[in-house]
Amino acid sequence: TTTAPTFPETFLWGGAVAANQVEGAYDEGGKGLSIQDVMPRGIMAPRTDAPTPDNLKHEAIDFYHRYAEDIALLAEMGFKVFRFSIAWSRIFPLGDEAEPNEEGLAFYDRVLDECEKHGIEPLVTISHYETPLHLAETYDGWTDRRLIGFYERYARTLFERYGSRVTYWLTFNEINSVLHAPLMSGGINTPKNELSRKDLYTAIHNELVASAAATRIAREVVPEALIGCMVIATPIYPLTPDPRDVLAAMKADHANLAFSDVHVRGVYPGYFLRTLREEGLELSDLGATEEDLALLREHTVDFVSFSYYMSVCETATQEVEAGEGNIMGGVPNPTLEASQWGWQIDPVGLRVVLNQFWDRWNKPLFIVENGLGARDELVTGPDGEPTVVDDYRIDYLRDHLIQVGEAIADGVTVLGYTTWGCIDCVSASTAQLSKRYGFIYVDRNDDGSGTLERYRKKSFDWYKEVIASNGASL
C-alpha cells in the first residue's frame, strides 16, 4: 500500500546547482582557470590544451552577474534551501597560493546576502568538479598528497569567512565518481586509460583524508556546522536471480558504498582492503599513515547526502552491453523506461536507496540532486509570456517525491530534497545546454546563441505548490 506522503515540518525543499555550470565569468574577478575551462565537451571528449571559445561554461547562464534575479526566482517558488558550490579557483586561482583572492570571497558574500534576504538556507559544496587547472597540471590532481594541504587551507578560508552564515556543508560532490571520471572528479590530468590503479586509489585516499581534515577544521572554527559527504547513489540490481549475478551486483555496490563507509564509520571496510590486495596494493602503498587513519576515525560526517538519477543492473553471467547513464553507466534494466539521454527512470529505486543508506549508516540523509534532463520547447503561455509545458518533468519529480514520502514512512530520516539544476544550466557529462533540468528556462542554446532571459516553466508553479503544501499536493 502507498501512504499519502507526509514530510516533516522542518523538511528543506529546494534546488541545486554548481558554480562551473551556472556562473560563467570564467576569467573575471581574479578567478583562475579550472579543469572545466578545458572541458568543452564534458566527459565525452578529452580535455583541450587551453580554453576554447566553444566552451559554454565560460559564460554558462551568467549567474555571476544575475545571481540576485535568480535567487529571487527561487524564493518565489518558496525555496527553503539552495545548494550551490564555491568555485575553488575564484578563491585560490592557482590552488596552491598562500592567500585567497578577496574578490572571489566577496562574490559569495553577495550570494549569501541574497539567500539571507529571502530566508533561504544555503547548502554549500566545497568542491564540485572544478579543481583549479594548475593543481591538475602541476600535481596531477588528487593523486598528489599535497592537495590535502591546499584543500585544508581552502576549506578553512571558507569556514572562517562564511561559517556564521552557512550551516550545511558538503566536502566533495559525488566523491565516488573519481572511479569513472578522474579528471572531472579528481582533477587528475593523466588520461583515464593511462592512470594506474595505484594512483587512482591514492587519489581516493587523499580525498577521503582531506574530507576528514575539513571536518576537523569545521569542528574547530564553526562547531555548529553540519558536514556531509556526497555520493552518486545508484542502486545496483542483479540482472537475474542467479546468485552469481547477485554477488556481482553486491560487489559493484561495494565500490560505491566504500566511500561513505569511510566517511561515516571512519575505517576502510574489509571488502575495500580485499580489492586493494587483489590489485597487489596495501594502504601503505597509497601513502596512508597512522595519522591519516586516526583522522579518518575521529572526524566522521554528520549526515550523508547523495544524488539520485537512476538505478542500473549488474551481471556476471551474461554478455550485455553497458547502457548510457550518469557518470557511472551500467547494464540496462529491461523493465524500465529511459530519458532522452538514456538514463533509466526508477522512482522506487530512490526509496530502496534511502532505506539501504539509513539501515547501513543511521545518519540523516539529504537528497541533494534528482531530476530529469530533457529537451524543452518554448511556447507562449496563457499570460502571453514564454513558458515550457514540462509535464514530463513534473511526472518525474512527483513520482520520485512520492517514494521519498514512502521512505519517510518507512522510518528514514530525510533532511531535505534539492532538485538538480533548478534553473537550466550546462550539463556536467555532455556540456550541453539543451539538456535542461530547471523550473526556470534560460534562453541559451548549444551553439551559444540566446538572450539569457529567464522564463518560468509549468513545473515552476507545480513545485511552488508542493513546497507551500509541504508535499501534501503531491
Instruction: Check binding of 100 to ligand BG6 (CB under 6 A).
Output: no
Applying the rule CB under 6 A, the residues between 321 and 380 that interact with ligand BG6 are: 326-327, 369, 373
Report the nearest approach of ligand BG6 to the CB of residue 101 (Å): 23
Instruction: Check binding of 307 to ligand BG6 (CB under 6 A).
Output: yes
Applying the rule CB under 6 A, the residues between 213 and 242 that interact with ligand BG6 are: none
What pairing do the DSSP bridges indicate for beta strands 236-238 and 12-16? unpaired
Q: Which residue is nearest to ligand BG6 (CB)?
A: 429
Q: Could you tell me if 171 and 215 are in contact, meaning their C-beta atoms sit under 8 angstroms apart?
A: yes
Identify which of residues 157 and 173 has a Cβ nearer to ligand BG6 in the complex: 173
Tell me the three-class secondary structure of 58-124, residue by residue: HCCCCHHHHHHHHHHHHHHCCCCEEEEECCHHHHCCCCCCCCCCHHHHHHHHHHHHHHHHCCCEEEE
Identify which of residues 21 and 157 has a Cβ nearer to ligand BG6 in the complex: 21
Instruction: Check binding of 131 to ligand BG6 (CB under 6 A).
Output: no
Rule CB under 6 A: choose which of 37, 70, 130, 174 binds ligand BG6: 174
Identify which of residues 245 and 390 has a Cβ nearer to ligand BG6 in the complex: 390
| DSSP line for 271-303 | HHHHHHHHTT--GGGGT--HHHHHHHHH---SE
Applying the rule CB under 6 A, the residues between 414 and 433 that interact with ligand BG6 are: 420, 427-430
Please compute Rg for the chain using Cα positions.
21
Report the nearest approach of ligand BG6 to the CB of residue 20 (Å): 8
Identify which of residues 311 and 326 has a Cβ nearer to ligand BG6 in the complex: 326
- Reply yes or no on whether 290 is catalytic: no
Query: Considering CB under 6 A, how many residues would be counted as binding ligand BG6?
Result: 16
Instruction: Check binding of 436 to ligand BG6 (CB under 6 A).
Output: no
Write down the catalytic residue from 23, 114, 207, 369: 369
Applying the rule CB under 6 A, the residues between 17 and 56 that interact with ligand BG6 are: 18, 21
For helices 347-361 and 243-265, the axis angle rounded to 10 degrees is 60
How long a stretch of residues is the chain? 474
Stretch (H or E) spanning 259: helix 243-265
**Nearest alpha carbon to residue 110 among 128, 169, 102:** 102
Identify which of residues 395 and 465 has a Cβ nearer to ligand BG6 in the complex: 395
Rule CB under 6 A: choose which of 435, 436, 444, 454 binds ligand BG6: 435
Q: Could you tell me if 96 and 135 are in contact, meaning their C-beta atoms sit under 8 angstroms apart?
A: yes
Phi-psi region of 431 (alpha: psi -120 to 50; beta: other; left: phi over 0): left
Q: Could you tell me if 222 and 169 are in contact, meaning their C-beta atoms sit under 8 angstroms apart?
A: no
Report the nearest approach of ligand BG6 to the CB of residue 379 (Å): 23
- List Cβ neighbours of 333 (8 Å cut-off, separation of 6 or more): 237, 239, 311, 312, 313, 344, 346
Report the nearest approach of ligand BG6 to the CB of residue 85 (Å): 9
Residue positions annotated with a catalytic role: 369
User: Contact positions toward ligand BG6, by CB under 6 A?
Assistant: 18, 21, 129, 173-174, 307, 326-327, 369, 373, 420, 427-430, 435
